[in-house]
A and B are shown apart, each in its own frame.
Chain A
Amino acid sequence: MCTTCGCPEEGHDHHHDHDGHLPGTRITIETDILAKNNRYAAGNRALFKANGIFALNLVSSPGSGKTTILERTLCDLSGNLRCAVIEGDQQTDNDARRIAATGVPVKQINTGAGCHLDAHMVGHALEELPTREMDILFIENVGNLVCPASFDLGEAHKVVVLSVTEGEDKPLKYPQMFHAADVMLLNKIDLLPYLDFDVEKCLEMARRVSPGIRIFQLSAKSGQGMAEWYEWLRGKG
């Protein structure tokens, strides 16, 4: 049996015409498939607005340094700003435990087989966080440069993290994600002396895919460049 549409033939093409059917009734829908996610995202956005929360959705490939950037940011900022974190990973609460060690409220979401956070999951996580006492919410998405691009969580900005060990052409290889982001953190610049990474070329490619993208070059390890990022956060974008 054909596995694509369940019809008994094999190897035919799937552009069926409908002549073989008894005439059915056609119903026009014209609705965005992600409409439900977008409704939940709008709900989250309303909650952020009502409570004055600046929400950021951090996206990247696995291991670019999202959690390390957050650990350092939280240690340096949480004296003045009330921060909270939602951690998305397929499995484990390792990242949530790293964040909890900084003393900041954190909620882990495990997506299991899922490759991205969606707005509904984030809405439930928010129920368990002190949204009335929160200035900035960082949402660390599942490490994946593809799928999280399509799912609005209600954030003010998608912040894409790219580390210099990944190669400078990532913006062109994963254009949908870089197009969806309007802030980019170029991380691990402490490693530049050991690599052939061309920073200018990388920035140029990021701007081609996302004109007007705001870029911070930093190292979560050495602390270099973090001050500009903090300044932007304090000014809330």
Chain B
Amino acid sequence: MHELSIVQGVVELCEQHCGGRRVLAVTLEIGSLSGAVPEALEFCFEAATKGTLLEGAELEIERVEATGYCSDCGVVSPVETYFDSCPSCGAPALLLRTGEEMRVKDLEVE
């Protein structure tokens, strides 16, 4: 359950940036290959925010779809797994461009 440590990271970041104000909403950007499961993050969020400035805040999760760059043909394509081959030329490996992010995008404070 490393989602709990991830949510604790979110709480820390928010408390650093919210200037002591109550946080109403948080938006995260979570890549589809990041290994973090949105449902599990939501599940941990309430417990992890209790007694913090984030208590009761809304959690908004924006999914970032994975894309990969093909160094053979130069095309960027959507990626579903770490081992997709290039759909445009069949090259066996793609370099991930997006999909691994775990970011706090923004906050809404009182």
Contact = CB atoms under 8 A, between A and B. Distances in A.
A179 interface: yes
Interface in A172-194: 172, 175-176, 178-179
Contacts, number: 121
A67 B8 CA distance: 31
A146 B91 CA distance: 27
Interface in A115-137: 115-116, 118
B109 interface: yes
B72 interface: no
B2 A115 contact: yes
Interface residues of A, number: 43
Given A24-B24, A27-B107, A33-B28, A5 B9 contact: no
Contacts of A172: 81, 83
A146 B59 CA distance: 24
Contact of A176 (B25, B42, B82): B82
A231 B48 CA distance: 46
9 contacts: A16-B25, A21-B108, A27-B109, A33-B13, A36-B9, A150-B6, A176-B35, A208-B83, A208-B92
